[in-house]
Chain A
Amino acid sequence: MVTVKIDGKEVQVAPNTLILDAAKEAGVTIPTLCHDSRLNPFGACRVCLVEQVNNPKLQAACTTPVTDKMEIITRSEKLSRVRKTAIELLLINHPLDCPVCDKGGECTLQDLTYEVGVTKVRFDAKPNDTPVDHTNPFIERDIDRCVLCGRCVRICDEVVNIQAISFLNRGTDTIIGTSFEQPWNCEYCGQCISVCPVGSLNNRIYLFKNRPWNLERVKSVCGLCSCGCTVDIDYEGNEVFRMKESPAEGINHGYMCAKGRFGFEFINSIKRQSEAVVKAGGESKKVSFNEAVEVAVEKLRKVKDTAGADAIAVVVSPRLTNEEAFLAGKLAKDVLGTSNLFSTESEEVYPEATLEEVENSDCVTVLNIDVTESNPILGLAVRHAARMGSAPLAVFYPGYTALKRVAKKFVTGNPDEVRASMESYAAAVAGASNEYSEWAAKLTKAERPVVVFDPYNKADVKIAQDIKKACAKVKVVPAKSKNNSVGIVDMGFGAKCATEFAKGLESGKFKAVVVLGENLSARSVWTKSASKAAGLELLLVTDPFMSETAAMSNVYIPVATFAEKSGSFTNLEGRVQSIEKAVDKGVNTDACVVSAIAKGLGAQLPADANAVRGMIEKEVPLYSGINWDGGVVSYPYVFAGEVAATDGKAKGKGRFFLYPASLRLHSGSFTRWSPDLAKVYGEPMLEIGVEDAKELGIKSKDRVKVKGEGFEGEFLVEIEKKVSKGCIALPEDFVATAGIFCNGKSLRADIVK
């Protein structure tokens, strides 16, 4: 520890702490413009200059580490003059269009202008005037307002590692741009927007919609993938205007992905339903919430009386909160008396490593999943480990992913080859000597190795388990897909196999099914049997939208999205985090639906999240005494017993290997209601390699038929150089493709033009 004196206040800090951080410790704020604590020191803006006693040179607080007995002065006449000059210089070329700039009101340059007290610029103003760039569907780029702090360039390089933008030209001509002035080609994560101190990079979804001072804010958790990012939901009235990062907070450190940042628009969608629908005798009728509940209750009672409680099934979606899932379980078990609780999740695999452990790992292996798309923040953690921590990263995936840039080893090929490679790798970890021995040694020698895998692919789970068995210090990350995939299992919806529900539907065992938020047609396990649900005595579906399943239902109740309710989600680390209600769209939550049905059946279930939490803490041992704001559940095991060896070989016959493509900004289920995400990727596209496309004479945007054993479909073609030769890929979660992947995760197919 060294002692430094900042503005007369003495503090003890660790050696090599930056002056800026030491000042924070001392309670002194130093103005900054180009600094971001998550990025490497840059020292460009010179606003944070401070005086060091006995040193004639000014020091940049954001780049200079403290030394013992250092004395720092942060406020002096000289410093305010230098700072003022810097801001004045920036204001020469900065177009003063604050009234129409989206950043106006939360702009660092505005704040600094006030702070240093610039009232009149001594120099002649020469505002830039270049056209605004709209080549990126989500990011508006106005280089006129740019102050060249380099934060966007640095975050795109250091954190996202896409390097989509960089400095161009030199001196006063310097601008931020893409190489060779090409259109933006990036992941659309919008990290650059989040760090831009001025209105140079703007969120096009929020563009010109409102001003920051009108917005109210709640801190919540993103309800899309299972990373569980802490986000700020900015709203006015009952409209969500933007979802943005909570700076440097949460397990995501203030990073977000395209889905979270730009995909929230479904909350405000005009396609949202507001009235319940009851179908009787082929006729749909809009009814009130209470009427719909009454119909449902009556039918449930009738089925229970005539066919018994076992004829009733409750299906929940992993979008539900823990509290809602718990209530649904309560309703099923205690009120209806059935044990038919289903979801797409299973309790076979529990979370183990946290994102922090992934970041700090010294050897990372990614098995057959494109985490940068499925769980982007987990992807960032993997990249961080591979790049900043320089952990050797091995990736197995049919086709290249964005991790190619940082991976020390990238094993690709067709799915069968990749599977064989993964099996050899697992064997090598277990001690066998083969081509992967060298890489296996890196894993076994590492102190904090991490393995990321896809928990929905049985064959992958088996490999992950084999690795874990061979090397106990390996921590695994099952990359679950949805925001509460883990939580609903904890609430009892993972005990039964999802296929059992499909069988029940097929056999006609179930007469009444309560579907909370789930879209059966878009789930590959259920899609085939989904049509059977249409003829049930009762098919109660709750969903914010009129999904395919909701359209089949005889009782439909519109419900709230995650921004309209309170509760908690458990993310892929097993971390329980609270969400906060921001807006009210005039629809009930799933908790209200469950509670109302229970009431109709003569039982009392609370709908209030806090009351339910009390019950959960009592009844779910895993959650007893849990901290609802970030507590990590300690699971009894990672793998539930020996995973049966499955034949992962591609099924069927055909020229091409067909595998589930990595998600492209969104899956086809929920986020497809976001108009802006859909603008970029609207319908499932068939990805095919350049060579194969050439051979077949297929061009981008052609429509081709994919035919395999037991399935057929027509898709738009996207030629993607990352896809290996002899392979084609389709996204999994679209209704149009769920029917394909119900046959297996790895298939063979032919392309018919």
Chain B
Amino acid sequence: MSYTTDHVEVHVCMGTAGVASGGQEVMDALDAEFTKRGLKNAESKERNCAAKQTGCRGLCARDVLIDVYIPGKDPITYEHVSAEMVPTIVEEHIVGGNIVEKWAAKADYFQFYDKQKRYVLADCGRVDPESLEDYIKLGGYEAIKKALTMTPEQVIDEVKKAGLRGRGGGGFPTGLKWTFCRNSPGDHKYLICNADEGDPGAFMDRSIIEGNPHAVIEGMLIAGYAIGCDEGYIYCRAEYPLAIVRVIKAIKDAEAAGILGDKVLGTNFHFKLKLKEGAGAFVCGEETALIASIEGERGMPRPRPPFPAVKGLWEKPSNVNNVETLANLPSIILKGGEWYAGIGTEKSKGTKIFALSGKVKSTGLVEVPMGITVRELIFDVGGGIPKKRKFKAVQLGGPSGGCLTPDHLETPIDYDSLIAAGAMMGSGGVVVMDETNCMVNVAQFFLTFTQRESCGKCIPCRIGTKTMLDILNRITTGQGREEDIELLLELGNDIKTASLCGLGQTAPNPVLTTVKYFRHEYEAHIRDKKCPARECAELIEFVVVDDRCKKCGICKKACPVDAITWEKGTVAYIDREKCVKCRECIVNCPFNAID
């Protein structure tokens, strides 16, 4: 990687994770350090150092990450940087020219990026999200310029050629969706960017918007031009304050620069863009509910047909695309559909961003080409399972997706293979579970989420998911009945077939797949009143197994209520009167000695 400026630049990760880890302090410290040392001279060529904020670069587990760009040299990345480390880095590396090896990123950092192909995220972590100039400097808004020289049909053709499919979860071919909306009669059409990302464990859209909002705006301009929309909305959830601030600034800057508004870039294409904050309802990620929410109505899905492409926002033809879909567009237009179609598998083209979380070493945001196997994603990119534990399952596609087992590790990740395996691409949340995770508990967790987020319109989803959750609750608390598994399967299938929108149609998936692959765990809960993974507190006896206990005393330190008596050289004893079943001892015991 080479860099073309003639001064030293330090990029500080200022995505949400970066800020939360103290990114702002690092920024301030760098700034103060540069000022103190007189390195902040904009005119000077030699003594011109600057700290620059960038978006998320993916490996959030190691924030704050900073990159030091010295002209003519390879950039150096430092992990887990704090404000205290800044003077040393500046002293030794920037001034002295010696890399601070003990803090610099090692091979395992680069292993994270080895199998990734970062196109959508390429500029996240390089570009200053709050600077239009920076985006343009890195080649931004070239794609829309190129698109405006093409006819809208040519743009759609290019997207069709690329084989881009909706990244929001459904995987509907984007070009085809546009064609429907374009051909739908109406003088006024809307383009909506769905940034209402609500899945637990998913933060792709957030990182894209926070890290490179102009890319999304450019994507929307391309889509708007292709479809014939003159107004666009970015529907962003209010829980993403940083994203909202950055989008608003980006829209303002773009308007000032003549990129948005009347006569985009001096052409006859007009495109107004507004930001609409959601009120925190997961169901508003469903496009008809999202449209209702923009209209100011209660966020409830409505039956289709009519499809939004015919009657959407304010009864006008509308097209809803996901953030990631839109962010893919600039590179498709610039590099051509054929280039894009060259990546990925036969039916799923391009790359897909996943949010890796759970029991995996390198949690964070990864962009991988379609067709990569689950094993590669978890073990090569994610670095495998920490604490030398065994991989047990992976939940793909968030709460609507399904669980895959070690048997599915070789499954290629593309839309159709995942559905065949019982999971789904979904928005791209990947939650990895190891042997200490109880699958009933996992199903219960995801169902709790979907049940809470159900809008309450249709009966199967509103009452059905609640009933399923009640059954799961009784299983995990030892009240399970013999017929419960069958009841869960029957009810789950009925909810899937009968629900009105995607939320209900997929809500039972975590339960159905865990029953399918981990039925024995359910049976153990019901028949033996035991939780094999020792996660369901009600089913754990909290007794120290003598021959497994190595008398280390870690459990005593971990116990928050002093329920454990231990003296050096003795087996620990748990006072069950005092025990609050918090599971801290189990989590911390290195020898699995507590049952």
Contacts and interface: CB of A to CB of B under 8 A. Distances in A.
Contact of A45 (B302, B459, B494): B459
A171 B452 contact: yes
A124 interface: yes
B463 A64 contact: no
Interface in B418-455: 451-455
Contact of A90 (B281, B457, B463, B497): B463
Contacts of B458: 43-46
Contact of B499 (A46, A65, A78, A147): A46
Nearest to A173: B456
B96 interface: no
Interface in B256-307: 281, 298, 300, 302-303, 305
A183 B464 CA distance: 32
B237 interface: no
Contacts of B459: 44-47, 86, 89-90, 147-148
Classify the interface of chain B: helix, strand, loop or mixed: helix
B462 A174 contact: yes
B487 interface: yes
Contacts of B490: 85
B491 A172 contact: no
Interface in B550-595: none
A392 B468 CA distance: 50
A167 interface: yes
A507 interface: no
Contacts of B487: 122-123
Contacts of B20: none
Interface string B482-493: 000001001100
A167 B491 CA distance: 26
Contacts of B281: 170
Interface size class of B (residues with CB under 8 A): 20 to 34
B460 interface: yes
B467 interface: yes
Given A58-B498, A166-B298, A172-B463, A148 B456 contact: yes
Contacts of A60: 303, 500
Contacts of A148: 456-457, 459, 462
Interface string A558-586: 00000000000000000000000000000
Contacts of A41: 303
B298 A93 contact: no
Contact of B494 (A85, A92, A174): A85
A81 interface: yes
A123 B467 contact: yes
A40 B500 CA distance: 16
A446 interface: no
Contacts of A92: 463, 467
B466 interface: yes
B470 interface: yes
Contact of A81 (B302, B455, B494): B494
Nearest to A49: B498
B494 A172 contact: no
B219 to A, nearest CB: 31
A93 B456 contact: no
Interface string A516-536: 000000000000000000000
B423 to A, nearest CB: 19
A124 B302 CA distance: 30
A89 B454 contact: no
Interface string A17-54: 00000000000000000000000011111110100000
B509 to A, nearest CB: 16
A170 B500 contact: no
Contacts of A64: 303, 305
Nearest to B457: A44
Nearest to B305: A65
A63 interface: yes
Contacts of B498: 46, 49, 58, 82, 85-86
Interface in B223-257: none
Interface in B85-127: none
14 contacts: A60-B303, A78-B497, A82-B498, A85-B464, A85-B491, A86-B498, A90-B463, A148-B456, A167-B456, A170-B453, A170-B455, A171-B462, A172-B454, A174-B455
Given A89-B464, A170-B281, 11 more contacts: A45-B458, A46-B460, A82-B494, A82-B497, A93-B463, A123-B487, A148-B459, A171-B453, A171-B454, A171-B466, A172-B454
Interface of B: 281, 298, 300, 302-303, 305, 451-460, 462-464, 466-467, 470, 487, 490-491, 494, 497-500
Q: Identify the 7 closest CB pairs spanning chains A and B, nearest first.
A: A174-B456, A63-B303, A43-B303, A89-B463, A85-B494, A171-B454, A46-B498
